[in-house]
Amino acid sequence: MKKVFLCLAVFAMSLTAIGQEKEEKVLRHKGFETNRFIDNWEITVLGGVQSFNAGQVFNGETADQISLFGNIGDRVMPAFQISLGKWITPSFGARLAYQGLGLNDGTDTNRFSNSTYHYLHADAMVNLTNWICGYKSDRLYNAVLIGGFGWATSQKQNLTDAQLEGSENSWNDEFAVTAGISNRFRLCDAWAIHVDLTGFLTKEGFLNVPTQGIYGFNYELMAGVSYKLPTERNFYAVDYSPYKNKIYSLEQDLAASRKDVEKGQSDNADLKDQLAKERKAKEQAMAEAKRIKETFSLSNGQSLSIYFTIDCSKVTDRNMENIKFLAEAIKTSAKNRVFTITGYADEQTGTSEHNMELSKKRAEAVYNALIDLGVDSNKLKVEYKGDTEQPFTGRPYMNRVAVVR
């Protein structure tokens, strides 16, 4: 009997681990919510008939095989079963069941006539209808496969005092395996009618028979009812729409972030190109300034031209290199020497009034740059000609200039 209680304890612990007493519900992969530990429990009570059947054993006295059993009709006995089960998902569950009463060999030898037995077993339940057709809480019929194992014990019968002497008790214990199908017809959310065809396989020694390793099967046809406890009795589909909307929103944010990253990478590439161009322009300006410094001398009447872009009077970095050189030349020139800065404009663009103002701004821009570099204002004079004079004929773009003489 200790083995029976051990099986019961193992089954109870497994159910507790599966259920996990949590009030909140969690998602399941089939699109339904799994339930709390207290939900979807059912008690089932069945009654019916059973018949234990086995093969033949060897008779040592006559060297013949003899049948241990009589006709099947003589072996039919009443059957009873009670179980407590829990559905973990719409398709899978587990139960702990007890069954018993008596068995009969149907012979005149009374090997185990009306032998009392008990069978405690833990079973897995698979709802084939829900698994194949999908879950429906108000479906009329469900087919449930049952399979499990347990411990069967029977009271020893018809033993002599010599056979009983030295025995621990008058019970025979054997391991058994259960299999069958339960046909369930729904009455309401709480009640259902059962018609079950099940059985268990075990050694014939369970019935005090010298089996020599032969197994027997106990057939059971039982009917009864099941009652679901008054907690949650159904399963509910998961509404995925909030999660889908959240995922879609996150995907949109991710796409926008990717675009920002790509734009940043593009802007970064443009900046690198711009820096490279500016670096190259500066190198060219420095090279030009070096060339001018080596060949130019204000003392012999040469002039220095500071060029501007169209309709612009801003001194560029490239121009500043030349202006820096010019400032040093002016500082080292004769004390009474005055340098004239003359601004010009291209006659092919703009009006005469606009070009006159533009040429003035160009001359003043060069003047201010020289002053900022420390040139004495007494050594500078500003003039502007607009487009009335074109110092470089045939090349209009070169007349966008301020000339220092």
Contact 75, 91 (CB under 8 A): no
Q: How many CB atoms lie within 10 A of CB 100?
A: 17
Contact 92, 124 (CB under 8 A): yes
Contact 146, 182 (CB under 8 A): yes
In a domain, 387, yes or no: yes
Amino acid at 204: E
Same structural domain, 306 and 187:
no
In a domain, 265, yes or no: no
In a domain, 366, yes or no: yes
Which of 195, 210, 238 is at the close of a domain? Answer: 238
Task: Please provide residue 110's backbone torsions phi and psi, each rounded to the nearest 5 degrees.
Answer: 55, 45
CATH of the domain at 382: 3.30.1330.60
Same structural domain, 163 and 78:
yes
Task: Give the helix/strand (H/E) hosting 124.
Answer: strand 115-127
Same structural domain, 22 and 119:
yes
Which position has the token pair 């070009």?
355
Task: Please provide residue 193's backbone torsions phi and psi, each rounded to the nearest 5 degrees.
Answer: -95, 140
Task: Please provide residue 376's backbone torsions phi and psi, each rounded to the nearest 5 degrees.
Answer: -70, 130
The SS3 call for residue 373 is coil
Spatial distance between the Cα atoms of 380 and 330, rounded to a whole number of angstroms: 9
256 Ramachandran zone, left/alpha/beta (phi>0; psi -120 to 50):
alpha
CATH of the domain at 37: 2.40.160.20
Spatial distance between the Cα atoms of 156 and 253, rounded to a whole number of angstroms: 76
In a domain, 46, yes or no: yes
- The tokens for 288 are 């030009």
Residue 35: the pLDDT is 72
Same structural domain, 59 and 187:
yes
Identify the CA nearest to 219 among candidates 76, 69, 73.
76
Polymer length of the chain: 405
Question: At a CB cut-off of 8 Å and minimum separation 6, what does 192 contact?
Answer: 184, 185, 186, 225, 226
Which of 238, 270, 288 is at the close of a domain? Answer: 238
In a domain, 250, yes or no: no
Same structural domain, 303 and 391:
yes
| Count: domains in the chain | 2
In a domain, 261, yes or no: no
| Burial call 114-132: b when 16+ CB within 10 Å, e when fewer | ebebbbbbbbebebebbbe
Residue 15: the pLDDT is 44
In a domain, 344, yes or no: yes
Residue 238: the pLDDT is 66
Residue 98: the pLDDT is 95
Residue 289: the pLDDT is 64
Residue 246: the pLDDT is 84
In a domain, 283, yes or no: no
- The tokens for 335 are 């004390």
Which of 238, 261, 278 is at the close of a domain? Answer: 238
pTM of the shown model: 0.49
Return the ∠ at Cα 260 (arms to 255 and 263), rounded to 5°. 125
Q: How would you write the pLDDT of the chain (405 residues) with one tens digit per residue?
A: 444 444 444 444 444 444 443 333 433 335 555 677 888 899 999 999 988 776 544 334 333 444 445 566 667 888 999 999 999 888 899 999 999 887 766 555 545 555 778 899 999 999 999 889 888 888 999 999 999 999 988 876 555 555 445 445 566 788 999 999 999 999 998 999 999 999 998 876 666 555 556 677 888 999 999 999 987 777 776 666 777 778 888 888 898 888 888 888 888 888 888 888 888 877 777 776 666 655 555 555 667 888 888 889 888 887 887 888 888 888 887 788 888 999 999 888 889 899 899 889 988 999 999 999 898 888 899 999 888 888 888 778 888 888 888
Q: Which residues pair with 313 in a beta bridge?
A: none
The SS3 call for residue 79 is strand
Same structural domain, 233 and 303:
no
Q: How many CB atoms lie within 10 A of CB 202?
A: 25
Spatial distance between the Cα atoms of 403 and 307, rounded to a whole number of angstroms: 9
Residue 31: the pLDDT is 56
Same structural domain, 137 and 233:
yes
Domain enclosing residue 83, as ranges: 2-238
Same structural domain, 225 and 330:
no
